[in-house]
Structure 1
Amino acid sequence: MNTLISRIALGVCVLGLAACTVGPDFQRPAAALPDRWDAGQTPRSLSTAQSQIVDGALDPQWWNVFHDAELSSLIARAANANLDVKTASARLMQARAARRVSGADALPSVEGTASYQHARSSQNGLLDVAGLGGKHDFNVWQPGLDASWELDLWGRVRRETESADASVEASADLRRDVLLATLADTASNYLQLRGVQAQQQIVQQNLEIARHSLALTKIRFADGVATRLDMAEAAAQVSTIEAQLPLLDNQHARLVNALSFLMAAPPHTLNSELRAAAPIPALPPRVPAGLPSALAERRPDIRAAEARLHAATARIGVAVGDFYPRVTLSANLSLQAMHFDDLDQWSSHMFGVGPALSVPLFEGGRLKGQLALREAQQQEAAIAFQRTVLNAWHEVDNAMSDYDARQSQHDKLAEAVEQNRIALDNAQRQYVAGAADFLNVLTVQKDLLGTQQALAASSTEVAVSLVTLFKALGGGWQTTYPVS
């Protein structure tokens, strides 16, 4: 009875120890973020924006605010085909495989064995296992099972598993970060492409005006009203405008190739699809930015930094566990016979079972050094988390400021274009009436072309800055693609 009680007490103690986990428990760090996104921005700058940033839930599929079916199609294809995303997916698969390897340490290990040996003992040696005096050969048949299991008394193995789980989560978030960057790059390149097409149309329109002016000057020259200088200036204006077309064509080709690359396609794959010009998508009147408190959940880089901190904290527990004894239960069950036909007899079986204890006595400072290393790595991960959060805050604040400033610039450029149109119309009328020389017409036309191109570039920059804002806010990876 006393023996039974002692065994029960020993079992309770072992289970109690098994519940122990050495090392610090991970405490989720607080992300220092503002209460409102408009902190630090003046009411004047926010009020001048045509498309205002407001409170409200951020749409994960933020590209839908542009209402552009072509953009949505490109986004979907790039998300599923992009090679960077696939590379990140492969790394996630590696992390999951490493987790399975690490998790196996918490389970018993069972191996099947089988051996056969044809041998003869020495006649002059100390050991004659066959009892044949070393005069005859003999056979030994031995199939069996070996099992072992380390009792995780201090939670070292559990900390390894915890660290591996956190590493898997970090890999998953890094993949989300790559996906987010891919979606933003696709949208930015597409918007820039539409901006280049807008500039091409502007150049073509101004080229038609310049050619019309050249034709008019030729008529006036034939009538003796215009001079050769007027002819030369008009022709030079046509050539100057024509000179812009090759560079715009080159930009168009490079942007189409950039989009093709994002979709893992060869150059020129999207030429036919994107050849037709389309306007730059209009901006939404309101841009819901979500709550700052949700940024830590939306931004994949913040989530990955937190997961890396978790993994580093768990590895401290692994290092602490190495200071404690390890207890391993092992068992062996096998059959051994000199004749194969005797293996099925009970007398051929043998077994062994029992614990093994391993205690670190002297490691030359290795264990202390390993613990110090893990603690320093955890401190580095904590600092990296703080830096990631602070950088995210800066990116959001800068993106909001850029979006507002570029809209203000766009409004002023639109006003300048309108005034230049009026000036060109008046200059042409005065030239036809003989009240002004042709140089005045050329100057005003050049100004109009410059402001029109600046306005088209500004429209592109406003749209791209909105994409940058959505990227900074961490939207896009929550969608159902790509397929894992």
Structure 2
Amino acid sequence: MKNPIPFLLALTFLSACTVGPDYAGPPDLASARVPDAAFARQQADTSSAMPLLANWWVALDDPVLTELEQMAIIGNPGLEAAQARIAQARASVEQERANRWPTAGAQATSIQAEVPGLDLQTNNSPPQGGPPVDEENSSLSIYNLGLSANWEIDLAGGQQRKIEAANALAAGSVATAADAQVQLTAEVARAYIALRERQLRIASLRQQVTLQEETLQLTIQRHQQGAIAAFPIGQANSILQSLNADLAATEADAETYLNALAVLVGLAPGNLDDFLAGPVPLPLPPEQVNIGDPASLIARRPDIRAAERNLAAATARIGVVEAARFPKISFMGILGIGGTSPSDVFDLADLSAIAVPQLQWGFLDFGRTAAGIDQAEAAQTEAEARYREIVLGALQDAENSLSRFAQQRRTVAALALVEQSATHSAELNRQRHEAGVISRAHLNAAERERLMAEANLQQAIAALTASYIAIQKSLGLGWEGPDEGS
């Protein structure tokens, strides 16, 4: 080819074409009638102001919880694995980008062949006046040292679509890692609240056991004095054993949460026992909770972002399959030196060059490409439906958590009144006991009622804080928003 420039320009123009649909963004959700301004279950104690994205737990004002969250973000093996998957996805993008360009390499070749009946190294014409050539001389020796290159022109844009799909999957892996952090931070907070509630309940149960042991001894003494029958002894002992059983179960629960928290932060069980010794007061959610609006939730929540990126990748894969319908042009080139003896590889005069253009077009494949396109389009339809499903599920999570949060606030308010009443009653009974109106056993019973009311209130507060954590999780909070790559 004397002037290859027009040919190369034509290839460049053709390679700029990209088959398949262009991704137009996430699908329209108008048919689902998603509200824009506010959540359907939003209450007066919530605000449409934008919530704190990353460190939402600081609103609970618990330094121990804050430290646990930071330890989990740094040390959790699951997050480390998610980061490794991001690195894999980004390396895949670089690999697909590199596939657009030629490959080149060095090669050294030595060929030794025996071909009976053929003289491949000498002239078959006998020299004038000389003896005939030995027709059995059929050995062949070739030595070559040089460079080789291969390049396939991306005429239909199939490789470009592969890059688009790889980019989308890389961004999806970032969103998936962010979702893993959302799940992790919520789980750490939930386990922490459950642990603190169990520790408070253990302290309460131990006090109740002490009071009931005293009541049992007093009952035995009164029976021995002939003041009462034996039946109250069995009743008092039954209450004591029930309290001991509740105490043992609660202690086991506390140890389970200690183990869970240790593993969540990347430590072996037992390493946080001293750090999390209790009991300590439960953290309370703020009076006003910022929740944003449904549109901001859809834009922010990582699992929705991951689903949207998977849809983009599925759209790009249609173009990858459609590119198989078009011809493929590739080039192979070899540049080297060599000959029939080892010394020829050092003779620069024996320079050889080979250029091999190749055109491939699978115009008859009995429907294989068409079936592949149908499969890719069906996968895109599935990804789009999956996106809508995840959006609706996320909105359901948010609405449910808002409802539970409002209900738990009412429950805490009601049980706070019960606890106040029990405390007042216990104080009156203490005064009556000091005045000699009631026995010590009756005072102990009133004090146990107060402790039980206090424990029920603490359990309700724990449920309220847990519902606040559920709101943060449903809103997709707890991640930093790292660069998603390109």
- Give the TM-score of the pair, scaled to structure 1: 0.87
The farther-off stretch of 329-338 and 133-142 is 133-142
Residue-by-residue CA offset, 1:442-474 (whole Å, 9 max, x unaligned): 775565444332212111111111111111111
String of CA shifts for 1:348-407, please: whole Å, max 9, x gaps.
211112421111121121101000000000000000011111111111111111111111
State the alpha-carbon separation in 1 of the partners of residues 223 and 416 from structure 2: 36
Structure 2 Cα separation of the partners of residues 130 and 443 of structure 1: 118
Say if 1:441 and 1:181 are closer, same or farther in 2 by CA, change over 3 A.
same
Q: Which residue of 2 aligns with 1:412?
A: 414
Q: 2:149 & 2:295 partners in 1: Cα distance?
A: 50
1:143-167 deviation line (CA, Å, top 9, x unaligned):
1211111111211110011111111
Distance 1:231 1:359, change over 3 A: closer
Contact 1:170/1:308 (<8 A) preserved = yes
Q: Deviations over 1:230-267 (max 9, x none)?
A: 56555554444333221111111100001112123222
Mean alpha-carbon deviation: is it higher for 218-227 or for 87-96? 218-227
Matches within 5 A, 1:149-164: 149-164=151-166
Bigger shift: residues 344-353 or 146-155? 344-353
Determine the structure 2 residue equivalent to 1:128.
Answer: 120
Q: Provide the C-alpha distance between the structure 2 equivalents of 1:129 and 1:179, rounded to a whole number of angstroms.
A: 71
Note if 1:104 corresponds to 2:104. no
State how many pairs are aligned.
468
- Structure 2 counterparts to residues 127-146 of structure 1, below 5 A: 128-129=120-121, 133-135=135-137, 139-146=141-148
- On the 8 A contact 1:106/1:152 being kept in 2, the answer is yes
Q: Does 1:13 align with 2:10?
A: yes
Match for 1:248: what amino acid? Answer: T
Describe the shift of the 1:479–1:373 C-alpha distance in structure 2 as closer, same or farther (beyond 3 A): closer
In structure 2, do the counterparts of structure 1 residues 39 and 130 end up closer, same or farther at CA, with 3 Å as the change threshold?
farther
Q: Retained in 2: the 8 A contact 1:332–1:352?
A: yes
Q: CA offsets per residue over residues 61-94 of structure 1, 9 Å max, x none? A: 1011112221111111212222222232333333
Partner of 2:82: 88
8 Å Cα contact 2:426/2:447 also seen in 1: yes
Q: Tell me, yes or no, if the aligned pair for 2:218 and 2:441 is still in contact at 8 Å.
A: no
Q: How many angstroms apart in 1 are the aligned matches of 2:319 and 2:245?
A: 68
Q: CA deviation at 1:35?
A: 1.8
For 1:443 and 1:197, locate their aligned partners in 2 and report how far apart those are by CA, in whole Å: 22
Distance 1:190 1:103 in 2: 46
> Which residue is 1:63 aligned to?
57
In structure 1, how many angstroms separate the alpha carbons of the residues matched to 2:70 and 2:413?
A: 33
Q: Which moved more, 1:141-150 or 1:306-315?
A: 141-150
SS of the residue 2:334 aligns to? strand
1:257-309: CA deviations, max 9, x gaps?
A: 01112123222221122123221112222222234322233211011101100
Unaligned runs of 5+ in 2: 124-133
1:274 is paired with a residue whose SS is coil
Which of the numbers 326, 336, 341 marks the counterpart of 1:324? 326
* Shift in CA distance, 480/459, structure 1 to aligned 2, threshold 3 Å: farther
The answer to whether the 8 Å contact 1:221/1:227 transfers is yes
Quote the Cα distance in structure 2 between the aligned partners of 1:422 and 1:278: 24
Contact 2:109 / 2:143 at 8 angstroms: preserved in 1?
yes
In structure 1, how many angstroms separate the alpha carbons of the residues matched to 2:481 and 2:445? 52
Structure 1 CA distance, aligned partners of 2:467 and 2:272? 24
Decide whether aligned partners of structure 1 residues 430 and 336 sit closer, same or farther in structure 2, where only a CA change above 3 A counts.
Answer: same
When normalised by structure 2's length, the TM-score is 0.86
Tell me, yes or no, if structure 1 residue 114 matches structure 2 residue 108.
yes
Matches for 1:172-211 after TM superposition, within 5 Å: 172-211=174-213
1:394 is matched with which residue?
396
- Segments of structure 1 that go 5 or more residues without pairing to the other structure are none
Separation (CA, whole Å) in 1 of partners of 2:151 and 2:140: 35
Q: Distance in 1 between matches of 2:448 and 2:37?
A: 45
